[in-house]
Structure 1
Amino acid sequence: MDTLSYKTISANKETAHKEWVVIDATDQVVGRLGSKVAKLLRGKYKPDFTPHADCGDNVIIINADKVKFTGNKWNDKVYLRYTGYPGGQREMTPAQLMKKPNGEEKLLKRVVKGMLPKNRLGAQLLGNLYVYAGSEHKHEAQTPKSIDINSLK
């Protein structure tokens, strides 16, 4: 009996094909950008995707200060956090968050973090995200390739 034998390929740290990609966030909607970036970080676009391993790309987001929200979400959307003390629930809008130092980085990392797994792997994947407000970044030595985020599904 002639049969084909297929082996399930499970990527690990040594066999993962990680790349460096640059994404221009100019005039991109934050939530749609975040979901595509989370897929890139996770490695879901790759044929050798493995759910339990870090097989995604390293993502550099430039022009993060030029992102936009639809509607009036700059002032109406509320991000909550809790200090751990009674009465310690704090709220902040995206407009308030952008006014802080490194606010662009904090905003996009917060958005992407919510779309990653809530475990050690998610924390490790978030470390592969680099956000810059301007068009300059310090990762030229890695020779990142620029991709159009709108072409991804």
Structure 2
Amino acid sequence: MDKTFVIKGKPESKWILVDARDEGLGRLATQIASYLLGKHKPTYTPGVDMGDFVVVVNAGQVKVNSQQMEEKWYHHHSGYPGGLKSVSLREQLQRHPDRVIQDAVWGMLPHNKIGHKLIKRLKVYVGSDHPHQSQNPQSVA
């Protein structure tokens, strides 16, 4: 019977640069979630933090179909009676396009302590400039 491979020591985390220009929102989010979890590495082990840091640029130019623009809504509640706030995808892309990508990626990560740690490694920027040049992120095709 084969044994499960478990890596010894702490694996190194790299910085990855992803350009969101003309990329579909769902496919982009699954790719980013895979990098955050470390599933792209041959030594991937479930339950072990092996992911990389991901920098996403041009978040305002992500591609979404017209049906989603009208039908997708983001909801949050303040905790007070009558405190339900809703905003459409179109409004969210105009006001905070970085939150659209962050919410899509968060939906694909585990909702536990590891997921909370991983989502902090995601850095999303609306334009093409980012303050992580000193980490020397590697661009992904």
Do both share a fold (TM > 0.5)? yes
- Report the equivalent of 1:116: 109
Deviation track 1:106-152 (CA, whole Å, cap 9, x = no partner) reads: 1111111111000111011001111111111111111111111xxxx
Within the candidate set 79, 83, 86, 1:88 is matched to 83
TM-score (norm 1): 0.83
1:7 shift after superposition: 6.2
Change (3 A) 1:86 1:11: farther
* Percentage identity across paired residues of the two chains: 36
3-state secondary structure, aligned to 1:72: helix
- Report the equivalent of 1:141: 134
- Report the equivalent of 1:97: 92
Q: Aligned Cα RMSD in Å?
A: 1.9
Compare CA radii of gyration and give the structure with the larger one: 1
- Report the equivalent of 1:106: 99
Unaligned runs of 5+ in 2: none
State whether structure 2 residue 40 is matched by structure 1 residue 45. Answer: yes
Measure the CA separation in 1 of the matches of 2:48 and 2:83. Answer: 36
Give the counterpart letter for 2:26 in structure 1. Answer: G
Contact map agreement 1:61 1:131 (CA 8 A) in 2: yes
- Report the equivalent of 2:58: 63
Between the two proteins, the alignment pairs up a number of residues equal to 141
Unaligned runs of 5+ in 1: 1-5, 149-153
Within the candidate set 7, 10, 15, 2:6 is matched to 10
Measure the CA separation in 2 of the matches of 1:69 and 1:62. Answer: 16
3-state secondary structure, aligned to 1:21: strand
Alignment of structure 1 residues 28-39 onto 2, 5 Å: 28-39=23-34
